[in-house]
Amino acid sequence: MIVEYHRPAILEEALRLLGRSQPITAPLGGGTALLHSIKDPIAVVDLQALGLDTLQIQGNSLQLGATLSLQSLLEQLDAQPMASELRRTILHEATYNLRQVATVAGTLVAATGRSPFTTALLALDAEITLQPGEETLSLGDLLPLRVERLRGRLITQITLPLNVRLAYEYVARTPADQPIVCAAAARWPSGRTRVALGGYGESPTLSFDGGEPDGAAIAARDAYAEAGDAWASAEYRSEIAAILVERCLEKINQAQER
């Protein structure tokens, strides 16, 4: 139950409210995740008036404001090497109506291992800016410690590299269903390759980060060697993860040759 509602016009006021110990106070972006999880009395801080719904290009980086909606991001992605595949993950993440209200930061905060968008951003080595303190950390460092790291704090910006190629592949019960297994691979001009796996657990898993991608499929198989649940056996996920990673790397190779 929501016991207090605040809509501050400046970031400092939002941070002051979020830093309170009582009542328990949570940020409200699009609300698609928060409103479904409320059990105890809480206060909410609506972030809509803070101007955090921006998208800017700075050099080789794409800077996303925390409250930018998934649909706005989908529509504003341009001709960068990773744009078409990132669009695929956004389309797979949520339906049109949900994309209109779900925010970039809210999606990352609420993500389980079955989030295509979060899997892609983990492969892209997204950087997260937290306030207060303007701390910057990688998404990979944030995901396993979201509750602790975000207590009394706020994501204000997500930064993605633009000069990389991205590929995304998945297996699901139906094309529109959440993935049973998904893989995202990103490659930098230097040859650095990162691979993230989704479809299982509390958050996506980084399975490979290196200069030579020859072992990426084997690393994916090993990463999901015990990833069994009601949706699929560990053996199935392990084998499919390796296949999907090979497909992603082949797609990137073909794009580089064109």
Give the residue, 182 or 40, on which the prediction is more confident.
Answer: 182
Mean pLDDT of 16-42: 72
Nearest to 196 by CA among 230, 173, 168: 168
pLDDT on residue 202? 96
- Decide if pLDDT at 3 tops 50: yes
Cα-trace Rg, the chain = 18
Neighbours of 179 (CB within 10 A): 25
Q: What would the two tokens of residue 17 be?
A: 């409210």
d(CA 103, CA 35): 14
- Decide if pLDDT at 36 tops 50: no
d(CA 158, CA 76): 15
pLDDT in tens, 172-215: 999 889 999 999 999 999 999 999 999 999 999 999 999 888 99
φ and ψ at residue 206, rounded to 5 degrees: -80, 120
Looking at the chain, the whole-number percentage of residues with pLDDT higher than 90 is 74
DSSP assignment of 219-230: HHHHHTTT---S
pLDDT on residue 37? 53
